[in-house]
Amino acid sequence: MTNGAQDLDHLIALLSKLPGFGPRSARRAVLHMINKRNLVLLPLAEALQKVGATARNCLNCGNIGTADICDICASEKRSTGEICVVEDVADLWAMERSGVFKGRYHVLGGTLSALDAIGPDELRIPRLIDRIQSEDVSEVILALGATIDGQTTAHYIADQLAGVKVTSLAQGVPVGGELDYLDEGTITAALTARKAL
């Protein structure tokens, strides 16, 4: 369609389906890649094939890695006493970038949702309950989104895990945030949870 060369059109069509990409940016990226064939195009093709062949969900926590048990679950350096429950792998990566959590994770794979007919068995909640019983877990930290579905899921999990300490992330003013730009719900939460200086 654009230039008569089918392989190029096919590549552009595939790229333009990626999130954040459209036809125009896909064309631009393809021309860039062809101009830098050895620096960008060929390494990218190789990296994609490698990840395509090896990427899989960790059997223990649901994180994406290249082995049956992901590097975090397999690491001796991570404490086994704390499990941080997140909705998806992107959230796990966000937690890891903060670098402050040294325990292990459990990826639910979504949130409970009556509208979308997603119940506990569609998520990794049974596996989480197994882990609490088999691993020596002292605290479960719920790092779920501050949405209705996220909070519903948090309450359901807290109910299921009677006998273990369950905490959730604090709500309040984001670092660098200005009060003027915050919604009323966040200000209410921050005021309710105020701390002595």
Is 32 one of the binding residues for its own copies (CB under 8 A)? yes
- The reply to whether 51 sits near its own copies by the rule CB under 8 A is yes
Does position 47 bind its own copies by CB under 8 A?
Answer: yes
Q: How far apart are CA 96 and CA 104, in angstroms?
A: 10
The answer to whether 11 contacts its own copies (rule: CB under 8 A) is: yes
C-alpha closest to that of 80 among 164, 127, 136, 128: 136
Helix (H, G, I), strand (E, B) or coil at 87: coil
Using the contact rule CB under 8 A, the part of the chain among 51-59, 136-144, 149-157, 170-178 near its own copies is 51-59
C-alpha span between 30 and 40 (Å, rounded)? 10
H runs (alpha helix) in 65-116 = 71-74, 89-98
Task: Rule CB under 8 A: say whether 43 interacts with its own copies.
Answer: yes
Stretch that binds its own copies, among 86-94, 122-130, 146-154, 177-185 (CB under 8 A): 86-94
Distances (CA, A) of 51 to 15, 54, 103, 150: 17, 5, 26, 30
Three-state SS at 21 = coil
Least distance between its own copies and beta carbon 77 (Å):
11
Nearer to its own copies, 98 or 192 (CB): 98
Q: Give the binding site for its own copies (CB under 8 A).
A: 2-5, 7-8, 10-11, 14-15, 17-21, 25, 27-34, 37, 40-45, 47-52, 54-55, 63-66, 70-72, 75, 88-90, 92-93, 96-97
